[in-house]
Structure 1
Amino acid sequence: MTTLMPGPTSGPAVCRRVLLVDDDRDVRLALGQTLELSGFQPTLAGSYVEAKDHIGTEFPGVVITDIRMPGKDGFALLALAQETDPDLPVILLTGEGDIPMAVRAMAAGAFDFLEKPCDPDDLTTVVDKALRTRRLVLENRALKRQIEAGDAAARMIFGRSAAAETLRARIRSVARAGAEVLITGEPGTGIPKVAEVIHLISAAASRPFLRLAGAAASPEAIARTIARAEGGSVFIDEVANLTPAAQFALLDTLEAQSAARVLAGTHRDLEAEAQSGRFHPDLFYRLDAMRIRIPPLRERPEDIPELFRRYLEQACEQAALPVPEVSPELVARLMAQDWPGNARSLMNAAMRHAMGLPDGDETGSLGLVEQMAQVERSLLVTALGRAGGNATAAALALKLPRKTFYDKLARHGIRPEDHRG
């Protein structure tokens, strides 16, 4: 496949992309040149196989395809586009005898058709109209997603404390700004989630959200990923781990283009790293255009009960278990802890509680055999409870032979009659 150099464009919001498919190389090159000279960004393909990977639900451009091609023809490509995204404009190129065929194809969903050889003015007029239509569709979709999703900051960042409210307000403000963002916080505070929320409520929500691990990001991967984002967001997890070469590459890429927004996360003091020479100072100041600090759980203990209950419900849903009671004594113990692992440690505690295991302090003294025994006992009790104490039904639900089931009940001191009624 041959891709022509893109023509002039005013940025991602005014996309001029055109996928042109024709098996005749001379026709393909001539039409591609006409499109390029008119300011469009043509990608040329000679067959259905070359074209199909470019077609997706968020493809921001339009498709022009010849009807008659060897193998799968223009009708097959139209059908693929309709199946993938019924709103993707497909313009058909027809020979002199193909006009009735093209009219039937339009009834099936084609945007328009053009006779070959194409008049340049007719070509650019139809393509421009199709692109305006496509742009409007994608903008409406993005708006609908925002309306349906509601406020992602409120939906995904939990807690009622003043610190949680401040964090949500800061996320909303930063998301609107559009500049680079430095997200800091202790391990387990949820830096990747905050980066995702910033993207979801930003103007770039309909565009890609890509992620890079700082320790594994080569200079080439950085440039490639930012280019692939096409006006979306690139989250670099633990940016402090970038090699010096990768830091230079990121700085050069940011200064040379504005095709994507970079959201950088780190658990370390990046300003101190820059002052000590371990991190490029210019890159630090570029990334620090806006900063978000995620407060640790010990600074908002009043959020711990709500967070624990949410994590507990998620754990029970994943394990198909009933949600156990959260006693006042358990809440008091949870709020009394410092939670050095923050939300991640609280999630683990919720999982243990869902499985009927002791809390973190007690579990630490148990070996693997004892912990697995606790899990087995929890599953047996749950199955009996669901079966109303009917041992036969519980054994069937657990897919255990009756004798094996009763042996396990005896080992754990469980009586079916205690779970009836």
Structure 2
Amino acid sequence: MTDTSDPVPVLIVDDDPSMRAALRQWIRLAGFETREVATADQAIAQLNPGFEGCVVTDVMLEGEDGMSLLRRIKDLDADLPVVLITGHGDVPMAVDAMRAGAYDFVEKPFDPDHIAEVVRRACDKRTLILENRSLRTQLEESAGLESRLIGASPAMQALRQQILHFARTDAAVLITGETGTGKEVIAQALHDFSPRQGGPFMAINAAALPEAMVEAELFGHEAGAFTGADRQRTGRIEAASGGVLFLDEIVSMPLALQPKLLRVLQEKKIDRIGGTKPVEVDIRLISAANIEPAEAVQSGRLREDLLFRLNTIELRVPPLRERGRDALLLFDTFLNRFAVQYGLEAPVTSARDEAFLQTYSWPGNVRELRNAAERFVLNAPVSPQPLETLVTGQRDPSAALAGGGLKELMDAYERNLIEGALRRHGGRISDVMNELNLPRRTLNEKMTRLGLSREQVGQSDAAES
């Protein structure tokens, strides 16, 4: 039998109590769990496309016969195995049933070992079908997520795996990362790839609302609760019931409201302003912070007990400067999207542009990169400029190299790559070697030829032996 932690269920359908009892005994002795019903309608009520086992049914049932039940099961799930029990005179009907998609039929009287073997094979087939479905779903979800969270760096690959795994749970998630890294995109993905995908996704930025409005926005109010409250208003938490509430910049939530949010998470109830009785809610809370949560607790901006409720799962979004060549991939994607959006030809990036993409620190992260791509597309037909100039407003003296020969372009490209790596890693040569996949001797030769040293990024040689 299939190796599973719990016994695989087998649904027995027979209107003869003695036959049900016999089948129950033989099938349970073979290591399966049995569920028993007498009619076709009762059988359909027990089944769904995720049913893990098989169905064993008599052909001749009181009321609706086994052939009709087979057709209904195939409409529910064409891959659910159905084993038919037949009398001698029912064999032609059973043959027709096999043509209609039945897994097998067993003629009465039958050997208990034979029925057990047929059930075992049917359940093994069902297990394989469900495993293949699950794998196909995972592949489809992974492809869908890759189109939202673009990046081939190990950090992004790991983040996508975490999202798909944690999306299936209902645990609270705290997303941390710098401004512009895509925290709301991740929150939306956690909703869209979860069992709550059919429910609402309610997003609110705690820092964007005046403090006086936050409580009413989150919890709602009754008519007459305060001046100007002329009618009842449903708060964002209540409106998110059945789905996901995303609270961005959670550390900006007023301290006075944090105990109320904690109560919602603990008791699954809210109190509207001016209300007299709690309202039950069913939400999954996803929050985001652009500073370290521990730092927010130490500075008195976030209650520690609330943090323990928020970060059952904590996802860290890496800044763009830590994502290697992802900047190139993202920029190319945005470039083509904006070219289509504005009906323009996608401009070609130069070697200097690509070097800048990889070496610039991108303090605004993906949001800044996206803006740069849009400006690059719009400026190209009328006022083409190096990407570095568009982003920083500075014209580097080496910009003249953009029109130079291959050697000059390659030197500029290498210089920007190595200088950027030195800056990112604080002058630690071993880390620069790992990022650029260069041996120490080759790196030293290139740095000497290009006039680069660790002192240029304010580092001393004491850090390396």
TM-score by length of 1: 0.50
TM-score by length of 2: 0.45
